[in-house]
């Protein structure tokens, strides 16, 4: 069928609808490598502006680390640019398997399989490992890729209220007639920055004979004493049946993800997970960079420790300035504003002051929960945070919101 005017108009109307609903997402062009300071062109065509970046998933500051870049260069020279094949034909290099083994050791699991992304790992895992005899019970705030993966799977779907262990237990009792039960959670929740109660989840899993699935994308490399992730933080290393995680955040930030866990589950993914089977794996150059990342995070916890210090310092600065900050100890620090328009205006105000942070509002977060999500990095120096807080204070004063709690903020913008 031709792309007729009627078809074009139909799509244009839909796009206008997205804009009218305030949900249109524009891109901002970055003219520099990723880092604590970036050069941003926004809006498109405007002069490039240098900003402090407070919204990257570059938790360990490794996205542009010279050793990682050098390793990637060397990998490019020794293993080439692309594989031009999926893994099971002629797309697996020795370094793919080497990286999988390194991840297995780091995460404390039995085996690992790389995927093109963690989105793909989550998209492919459930269909490969569960069927109509089984049930998936997910925390209601899990990442969208898990929701998509669950929808592709024939197993029964159920959900429990966010981090509500009583509700999870009710669901586990309800589904005792199923062949397999799988509890599904994120480790660190991306919008709130809070951490799953993984020790309690594991206890319930043992009591009700369920497997545990953990997406630790916002934790691998820096949560826990040696950065293994939420399972280390909660004292349940070795007790998680499946961990999915990403190379696209703390671990160099390029792309790629993995399924890591029980040997048989990983093998099922190797045999049946469609995003693994029908797509090229992570490019050699990224594998080479990621291997260097594994070296860096294994030999020292300095970067993870610095991130922890930055997180505490930044939380303290925000609270001292009078912002309403969501509690937690992860480097995701949401500044609660509750009102969608205020969140957008606040983000624009910050950008004018040279700080890049993004406002989130419904449907990305629940209605009435609008916020600025700030994210810390080991690449931030104290002076970056001292400068950023000045911008936050200035914009906060302009809006008259410093020192206001939830009730006052909601009341102020209610009309």
Partner 1 sequence: MDEIVKVVRDYVTREYLEEGDEREITETTPLISGGIVDSFSMVSLLRFLEKKYSIHIPDAAATPDAFDTVQSIAALVRRFQKAEV
Q: Binding residues for partner 1, per CB under 8 A?
A: 138, 140, 147, 156-159, 161-162, 164, 362-363, 366-368
Shortest spacing between CB 155 and partner 1, in angstroms:
12
Choose, from 36, 190, 260, 377, the residue flagged as catalytic.
190
Distance CA 126, CA 324 (A): 38
- Which of 253, 219, 256 is CA-nearest to residue 112? 256
Using DSSP, state whether 199 is helix, strand or coil: helix
- Output 26 or 363, the one with its CB closest to partner 1: 363
User: C-alpha distances in angstroms, 156 versus 164, 213, 214, 268?
Assistant: 20, 15, 18, 19
Shortest spacing between CB 207 and partner 1, in angstroms:
21
Distance CA 216, CA 106 (A): 13
Per the annotation, the verdict on 167 as an active-site residue is no
Question: Which pair of structure tokens corresponds to residue 267?
Answer: 């093998």
Number of Cβ within 10 Å of residue 322's Cβ equals 15
- Output 208 or 362, the one with its CB closest to partner 1: 362
Distance CA 373, CA 347 (A): 10
Q: Which one-letter DSSP state was computed for residue 223?
A: S
Per the annotation, the verdict on 393 as an active-site residue is no
- Output 140 or 319, the one with its CB closest to partner 1: 140
Choose, from 197, 233, 249, 306, the residue flagged as catalytic.
249
Question: Which pair of structure tokens corresponds to residue 280?
Answer: 């090229």
Per the annotation, the verdict on 382 as an active-site residue is no
Spatial neighbors of 38 by CB under 8 A, at least 6 apart, are 30, 32, 50, 51, 53, 356
Spatial neighbors of 26 by CB under 8 A, at least 6 apart, are 43, 44
Number of Cβ within 10 Å of residue 151's Cβ equals 11
Q: Angle CA(145)–CA(150)–CA(152) in degrees, nearest 5?
A: 100
Shortest spacing between CB 18 and partner 1, in angstroms:
16
Distance CA 44, CA 339 (A): 27
DSSP 106-131: HHT-SEEEEES-HHHHHHHHHHHH--
Shortest spacing between CB 177 and partner 1, in angstroms:
12
Shortest spacing between CB 164 and partner 1, in angstroms:
7
Choose, from 218, 380, 384, 393, the residue flagged as catalytic.
218
Shortest spacing between CB 145 and partner 1, in angstroms:
12
Q: Are 313 and 386 in contact (CB under 8 A)?
A: no
Q: Quick one: residue 7, left, alpha or beta (phi over 0 = left, psi -120 to 50 = alpha)?
A: alpha
Shortest spacing between CB 363 and partner 1, in angstroms:
7
User: Which residues are annotated as catalytic?
Assistant: 190, 218, 249
């Amino acid at each position: 069928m031709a792309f007729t005017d009627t078809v074009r108009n139909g799509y244009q109307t839909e796009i206008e609808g997205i804009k009218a609903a305030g949900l249109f997402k524009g891109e901002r062009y970055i003219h520099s490598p990723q880092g604590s300071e970036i050069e941003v062109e926004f809006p498109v065509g405007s002069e490039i502006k240098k900003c402090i970046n407070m919204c990257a998933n570059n938790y360990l500051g490794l996205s542009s680390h010279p050793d990682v870049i050098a390793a990637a260069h060397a990998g490019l020279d020794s293993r080439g640019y692309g594989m031009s094949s999926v893994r099971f034909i002629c797309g697996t290099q020795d370094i793919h398997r080497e990286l999988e083994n390194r991840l297995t050791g780091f995460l404390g699991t039995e085996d690992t399989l790389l995927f093109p992304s963690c989105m793909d790992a989550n998209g492919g895992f459930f269909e490969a490992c569960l069927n109509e005899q089984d049930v998936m019970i997910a925390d209601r705030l899990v990442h969208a890729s898990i929701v998509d993966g669950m929808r592709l799977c024939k197993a029964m779907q159920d959900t429990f209220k966010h981090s509500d262990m009583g509700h999870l237990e009710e669901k586990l009792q309800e589904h005792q007639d199923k062949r397999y039960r799988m509890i599904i959670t994120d480790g660190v929740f991306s919008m709130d920055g809070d951490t799953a109660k993984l020790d309690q989840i594991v206890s319930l899993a043992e009591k009700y004979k369920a497997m545990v699935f953990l997406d630790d994308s916002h934790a691998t490399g820096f949560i826990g004493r040696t950065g293994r992730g939420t399972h280390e933080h909660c004292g349940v290393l070795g007790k998680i049946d499946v961990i999915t995680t990403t190379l696209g955040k703390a671990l160099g930030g390029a792309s790629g993800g993995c399924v890591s866990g029980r040997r048989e589950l990983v093998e099922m993914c190797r045999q049946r997970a469609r995003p693994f089977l029908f797509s090229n794996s992570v490019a050699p150059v990224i594998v080479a960079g990621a291997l260097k990342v594994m070296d860096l995070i294994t030999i020292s916890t300095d970067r993870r420790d610095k991130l922890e210090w930055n997180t505490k310092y930044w939380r303290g600065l925000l609270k001292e300035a009078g912002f309403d900050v969501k509690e937690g100890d992860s480097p995701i620090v949401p500044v609660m504003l509750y009102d969608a328009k205020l969140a957008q205006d606040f983000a624009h105000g910050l950008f004018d002051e040279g700080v890049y942070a993004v406002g989130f509002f419904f449907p990305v977060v629940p209605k009435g929960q609008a916020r600025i999500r700030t994210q810390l990095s080991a690449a931030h120096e104290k002076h970056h945070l001292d400068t950023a807080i000045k911008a936050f204070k200035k914009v906060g004063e302009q809006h008259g919101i410093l020192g206001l709690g939830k009730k006052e903020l909601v009341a102020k913008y209610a009309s």
